[in-house]
Structure 1
Amino acid sequence: MLSAPKSTDTTIGEFKAQDIFGNEITENIFMDYDLTLVNIFTTWCSPCVAEIPHLAEIDSEMEGKGVNVVGIVMDVNDKGSINEEKLAKANAIAKKTGAEFEFIIPDDALRKSRLKGISAYPETFFVDSKGNIIGDAYVGARSKEEWIKIIEKELKSIKE
């Protein structure tokens, strides 16, 4: 199982981004959940897109356990302007995969903090309710079963 290099960022920080529907999303998205799985992907990445239905199932099945899933789609915001073609593709991916979790288009604050230097997709990390980045980061797609084991491990670590 590949782990990503440890980021020097320990919190997600403040941000004001939007989702693929134009709704404002801030760091407050993490407050109502013990643990949020943050999946960073691109619309052109086949393993990323193939993983999204698994993440959608996890999002709906684990919500009652205080777990949330958030996707950050990296290729829609191209140096400060929205690429409409890639935005349409992100919307089509959400619809086709049945994903109801947020697909966030990162703002500059996100790009310059935890997302800086990501070179392989998908990459996934975890955030607690206070916005702290916890546990390991994972490079590569996983099955639903693999993610559930990892999530349970991360939940256990924050409750200890």
Structure 2
Amino acid sequence: MSLKAKVFTLVISKNRQRGFLLPVAVFILVVMSVAAIALWRSTIQSSNSTVQELISTQALYAAESGAQAGVGQIFTGADRDAVNAQCDALNLTLNYSVLGLRQCSARVSCSFILSPPSPNDTGSVYVIDSVGTCGTSITAERTVRVDAYLGEEE
């Protein structure tokens, strides 16, 4: 093989390797972009999950507070008939303005059962339902049910 043929072979192999790094660079950019987008989405989902858990906890506290207010309101009567009337009329909506429960509300209702738990008892069982709702764009709703018993004094 002559010197001229060796130079020509070297030039051809040099030209064939041109542009090899360009596909590798594009591949690396695509892979890094996909990884960055996946990491970004994971961070956003984690943040939303944390916010949802916080709002759900606030809704639970709003519902518990509403249930306590309902119990306090129906047991202001002097006797069972007065408490029954208070329970029957209870349709309470609370809108909270305190720091931990802003943008929260509670709907409270009451029902009662006159049937005594035992044959010698003449008491009543009261069921207070409180539904706490919190949030604006991300919302949560929690329900608390409280059973209370009022027995007759002998």
Determine if the TM-score, normalized by the shorter chain, exceeds 0.5. Answer: no
Q: With a CA cutoff of 8 Å and minimum separation of 6, indicate the structure with the bigger relative contact order.
A: 1
Larger helix percent: 2
- For the pair shown, the structure with the greater C-alpha radius of gyration is 2
TM-score where L is the length of structure 2: 0.23
